[in-house]
Structure 1
Amino acid sequence: MHVKNCIIGAGPTGLGAAHRLAELGEDDFVVLERDGHVGGLSASFRDDAGFTWDLGGHVVFSHYEYFDALLDSLLGEDALQHQRIARVRIAGSWVPYPFQNNIRHLPKELVWECVDGLVEAHDRAARESAPAADFAEWIDRVFGAGIARLFMRPYNFKVWATPPERMQAGWIGERVSVVDLRRVLENIILEKEDVSWGPNNTFRFPLEGGTGAIYTRLAQPYMDRIRLETPVAGVDAESRTIRTADGQTITYENLLNTSPLDLFAGKLVSDAPDSLREAATLLEHNSVFVAGVGVAGTRDDDTCWMYFPEDNSPFYRTTNFHNYSPRNVPAGVSARALMAETSFSAYKKEDTAALMDRTVDGLVASALMENDEKRAILTRWETVLPYGYPVPTLDRDRALAAIQPWLEERGICSRGRFGGWRYEVANMDHSVMQGKEWADRVTRGDTEQTYTTPSK
């Protein structure tokens, strides 16, 4: 079989590429998907009890008019609009997010520890101009010792499952709210809430079907060209040939890979040089255990999601998924849907077999459940994501600068959360746009705007 455009993966990037190709009148494409469903890490599932769960706490917001218009066309009136309400559980209380702007909610001795560290960091910044050597140094410089100890260091280790000393600081951008000392002091003295920071302070969510509903609708017109349960077994870059696990051979002119780049460049590309395979070993990621706990009964709690830096719970984030859509719980059932995420890696080992029980205990310890509500649990749903987040390590850019040009010289683009391995452009809107821009590039010669390869 020969196709002009071959796409590996039917997640947001692959489906965004397929949709754009069709928009441009280019119908000569095929999408190869290893799983039996579309959506990738943005898929959703309904469990046997009738609860709907995402693969983690997804929030749909956008930097792009194209993505906004696409969502409008896919969801129409089936979209719910939310104002973000997020909190941090710390010292037995809830601090509004962003934590660093709302430290007045802490006990007074902890408020002073944070302010003292901020003042010291502010004074030090006036004397130092060299960029931070790593993420850990950046945390200490920007936030000071108090916020670093209480929140930034423990929370980021729980999320990334990677020591911050192994991570670069250049990925941060709009991902982390930095600190304005004057603003922090004003919030403390005037007792002001400061919760509007960030691009996701408002977000949309499908009325039914979870986040995955976006991608099942996006895929529907192209299902005749999407081959589910078709893993790729090998790629010969020079001859532009793909071999699938079921024995098919496909030749192509342009290839978009959205599968994990470390596996693609390190194992699937059969004619990759040793230098490319070695570069692929520098790419690091964490894994994530997602637990969905359906509990009978409701509460007066309008929080969207919560962060957990302390060690009395294994998870780093929990989502009140019932607040995203009333149809995330079974019809006619009064219940809460609590979705918790726990990361793990070689640096942060977890016994996944015990994580559901530890999650329930953590929900109780974090005041999201009462102890006697354990008897009111209606469902326990769990899944393990072997690839959770691509970690922006100190070696990442060097690896990408070696891998991506070699692939592109041979008609292969690797994009998306794990195909591109750049967390800073790995939101859903970024991912769809990377697929869209690849389609524009191979059909019209346009220059990509969202994804750029770091220089050596």
Structure 2
Amino acid sequence: MPRSRPERVVVIGAGPAGLTAALTLAERGVAVTVLERGAAIGGLAGTTTFKGRAGTYRFDYGGHRFITHNESLLKLVEELLGDDLLTAQRRSVIRLGGRVYEYPLSLANLVKNAPAGMMAGVARDLGAMAMKRERRTGDSFANWIESRFGRTLYRTFFEGYTRKLWGIEPDDLSADWAEQRISLVDLREVARLLLPGAGKGPRTYARSYRYPRHGFGVIFERLAARLERAGASLHAGVTVTGLAARDGQIHAVETDDGAFACDAVISTVPLPAMVRLTGGESRLRFRGLRFFNMAMAVENVSPFTWQYLSDPDMIATRLQEPKRRSPEMAPPGMSSLMLEIPCDPGDDLWTMTDDALFPRIAADLERLGIDPALATGEMFSVRAPNAYPLMAIGYEAERQRAFTHLARFENLVQCGRQGTFRYVFTDAAMEMGQMAGEALIAGDDRRAAIHDHRNERTVIETESIA
């Protein structure tokens, strides 16, 4: 850490972690400069506004919602949004083989909707699972799921979907991703809870959440405005090209728009990219997403916030209707859809034009019971090359090597989802930013705590107070 409280700090990245870190510093009297490579702030938590023939449509970068167990963070967001912070109800489903299942999976819903053959397999698995051991350290995602859900549900709901989402075999994916993201984790526990007198139900995802009236990115637009009122300087469209350092201390951030002098740096640059920027090598990589956004000439497409598309031959993993979060996300009488398509830069699905991709999307919509003729023809794509940290087996050691390489810069703090290579929610990323700012002010080295913040082995979303 800096040898004393820094007077000038450069924050790289204007997403949730970077902006919150900058606010923490600026409101304590530190001179802060925020550098953002993109043209807009918010990062993957931003919102794109599209002016269509019927009016204004708004699309987030994915399925965001504000949930937190942190009262002070909730208070900050409520102060920023005021009456523009709505409370919404989440209703999500899994679509597979022409059937609709509740999300998260519930045994009662499976019994009601699943084919008889599937339920016979579930019953066999349940009978055999008493002999299976719990997850071992280092297990794969496939083993983790199968040991808790059984082979039938793994093969039916998880195997093909996971391969489509991550682009690798489930046997090659670490189980770490599952532990904080998959609810209802033990089929035996579910069966027990169906018995009389079983008591509390299984843990599940938060149904209520807070959401801005005009899109999730408004949180960070308001945060940036408050930051500038506090005296910080924001520069968008600036690419960082290097760090100038001596004696283990960074004294300037070099960019394509000149150098910015500093006493410390808080970075949300993707972890492997920062390693390479500083002369190292990293095998860590991310999974990209293409968000295909389209206007629909109908007031409501469905009652669902989002639909998980588990059929492996459908190109998207999730279908979302932004209007389900806020009615202001589409013009009156209209709606919109966003499809999340996992792919990587250079893939056919990444480079294909919207016009060329639409026939495949239309075919999938028909299978889902949605008339593609309702599409107005107004469509566009947004691409995120670093959407999800790809937690392949062995990633933990590679991640630690990255932090060891960067530790030679005493006044560099990595934080945020991409910066720490963690699949965290927005509130956790913002908390990382707060921790980074407070660590610099205190002159303490809290980097290890920041890197592993909210790494508990539970479904974090169940703890929401929002």
**Secondary structure at the residue paired with 2:387?**
coil
CA contact (8 A) 2:51 2:57 kept: yes
Q: Distance in 2 between matches of 1:292 and 1:196?
A: 35
1:249 aligns with 2:259: yes
2:238 matched residue in structure 1: 230
Match among 107, 110, 114 for residue 122 of structure 2 = 114
Shift of 1:412: 0.9
**Secondary structure at the residue paired with 1:386?**
strand
Q: 1:451 to 1:61 in 2, by over 3 A?
A: same
2:219 matched residue in structure 1: 214
The size of the alignment, in residue pairs, is 429
**Secondary structure at the residue paired with 1:48?**
strand
* 1:164-243 superposed matches below 5 A: 164-182=170-188, 184-185=190-191, 197-208=203-214, 210-223=215-228, 225-238=233-246, 240=250, 241-243=252-254
1:390 matched residue in structure 2: 389
1:259 aligns with 2:269: yes
**Secondary structure at the residue paired with 1:263?**
helix
1:57 matched residue in structure 2: 63
Q: Distance in 2 between matches of 1:340 and 1:399?
A: 32
Q: 1:129 to 1:407 in 2, by over 3 A?
A: closer
1:417 aligns with 2:425: no
**Can you list the C-alpha shifts for 1:192-233, whole angstroms capped at 9, x where unaligned?**
xx998445322111112x111000000013345111111111
Q: 1:218 to 1:351 in 2, by over 3 A?
A: closer
CA contact (8 A) 1:312 1:366 kept: no
Shift of 1:20: 0.9
Q: Which AA in structure 1 matches 2:274?
A: F
Q: 1:187 to 1:303 in 2, by over 3 A?
A: farther
1:429 aligns with 2:436: no
**Secondary structure at the residue paired with 2:419?**
helix
Task: Tell me which moved more, 147-156 or 292-301.
Answer: 292-301
CA contact (8 A) 1:9 1:31 kept: yes
**Can you list the C-alpha shifts for 1:92-135, whole angstroms capped at 9, x where unaligned?**
1110011254322212222222332343234323xx67445321
Q: Distance in 2 between matches of 1:383 and 1:396?
A: 28
**Can you list the C-alpha shifts for 1:130-179, whole angstroms capped at 9, x where unaligned?**
44532122222222211111111112222222322222113433311243
**Secondary structure at the residue paired with 1:36?**
coil
1:305 matched residue in structure 2: 306
Identical amino acids, percent of aligned pairs: 26
1:340 aligns with 2:339: yes
State the TM-score, normalized to the length of structure 2: 0.85
Unaligned ranges ≥5, structure 2: 1-5, 456-466
Q: Distance in 2 between matches of 1:132 and 1:350?
A: 32
Shift of 1:189: 9.4
Q: Distance in 2 between matches of 1:74 and 1:420?
A: 26
Q: Distance in 2 between matches of 1:167 and 1:312?
A: 20
Root-mean-square deviation over aligned CA pairs: 2.7
Q: Distance in 1 between matches of 2:75 and 2:152?
A: 43
2:8 matched residue in structure 1: 4
Match among 19, 22, 25 for residue 18 of structure 1 = 22
Match among 36, 41, 44 for residue 38 of structure 1 = 41
Task: Tell me which moved more, 443-452 or 413-422.
Answer: 443-452
Match among 67, 84, 87 for residue 81 of structure 1 = 87
Q: 1:363 to 1:442 in 2, by over 3 A?
A: same
CA contact (8 A) 1:261 1:420 kept: yes
Q: Which AA in structure 2 matches 1:21?
A: L
CA contact (8 A) 1:256 1:415 kept: yes
State the TM-score, normalized to the length of structure 1: 0.86
CA contact (8 A) 2:26 2:32 kept: no
Match among 47, 51, 59 for residue 50 of structure 2 = 47
Q: 1:124 to 1:348 in 2, by over 3 A?
A: farther
Match among 104, 123, 134 for residue 98 of structure 1 = 104
**Can you list the C-alpha shifts for 1:31-58, whole angstroms capped at 9, x where unaligned?**
1111121101111111131211111111
CA contact (8 A) 2:13 2:268 kept: yes
